[in-house]
Amino acid sequence: MSNPHEISLAVRDYECDLQGVVNNAVYMNYLEHARHEFLKDRGIDFAEVTRQGIHLVVVQAELDFRASLTSGDRFTVQTRFERDGRLRIVFHQQICRASDGKVMLEGRITATSLNEKGRPFVPEDLLARLA
């Protein structure tokens, strides 16, 4: 498994629902942003990869909600990567509240890449940069 990558974010008011907690769908945005930053940190530009005809896609998302973030909470998203077979890559992600380090969410996002014809493949040079 790769070394962890971490970003810091804060909850914005409009991300909360009527109950005053972050809406469950917003967590997917946090995780996606963190994965894109993880890629950038390793010299992989998501837009450039797409222009090259390589489409990185999520094929499965498993989220374990532990507790809720609320407006103004600061938090970190930690992302690690591992290969799962020949055609899949897995991002292990964790969201922790900054004030006390409490784990708010654990996620396992499985992805692959598709070529111009929509066939799954994972380029070796991409994998080498992820590690």
pTM, whole model, 2 decimals? 0.93
- Number of folded domains in the chain? 1
* DSSP structure string for the chain: -PPPEEEEEE--GGGB-TTSBB-HHHHHHHHHHHHHHHHHHTT--HHHHHHTT-EEEEEEEEEEE-S--BTT-EEEEEEEEEEETTTEEEEEEEEEETTT--EEEEEEEEEEEE-TTS-B---HHHHHHH-
Once rounded to an integer, what is the mean pLDDT over residues 89-101? 98
Residues taking part in catalysis = 17
pLDDT in tens, 24-34: 999 999 999 99
Give residue 102's domain range. Answer: 5-130
In this structure, are residues 122 and 89 in contact, taking their beta carbons and an 8 Å threshold? yes
Q: What is the pLDDT of residue 127?
A: 85
Write down the mean pLDDT value for the chain: 94
When pLDDT is cut at 50, 70 and 90, the band that residue 116 belongs to is confident
CATH of the domain at 60: 3.10.129.10
Q: What is the pLDDT of residue 1?
A: 75
Once rounded to an integer, what is the mean pLDDT over residues 9-23? 97
**HSE of 80, CA atoms in CB hemisphere, 13 A:** 11
pLDDT in tens, 41-58: 999 998 999 999 999 999
